[in-house]
Amino acid sequence: MVIDGVNVKVLGFVPSKEELRHYICQAKKIKPNADAFVFTAEGDAVKVDWVKNNQKFERIRRITGYLTGDLNSWNDAKQAEEQDRVKHETRV
């Protein structure tokens, strides 16, 4: 559900909208950049979890001594040099 533009999920109890607004206000103080909040009843307390959606990022690589994210701006010779390099697998 969405309360005042904030995505909220409530588990284990049914709070009033005023209670939810209070929980959201308190949660925003802890995690102001969260995209959504999950409120779960735990006895007499309410547990707060938050969700932060993945941010888009640009991949930056160091190739032939240059930091770059996109090879399109490179001339043909530099692009050929990058293509000829030995590529190693990364193990996670």
* pLDDT tens, residue by residue, 55-65: 666 777 776 67
- Whole-model pTM: value is 0.54
User: What number of other Cβ atoms are within 10 A of residue 74's Cβ?
Assistant: 16
Provide the 3-class DSSP secondary structure of residue 37.
Answer: strand
pLDDT at 54: 65
pLDDT at 40: 92
Question: Measured between alpha carbons, how far is 52 from 33 in angstroms, rounded to an integer?
Answer: 7
* pLDDT tens, residue by residue, 11-52: 989 988 898 899 899 998 988 888 889 999 888 888 988 887
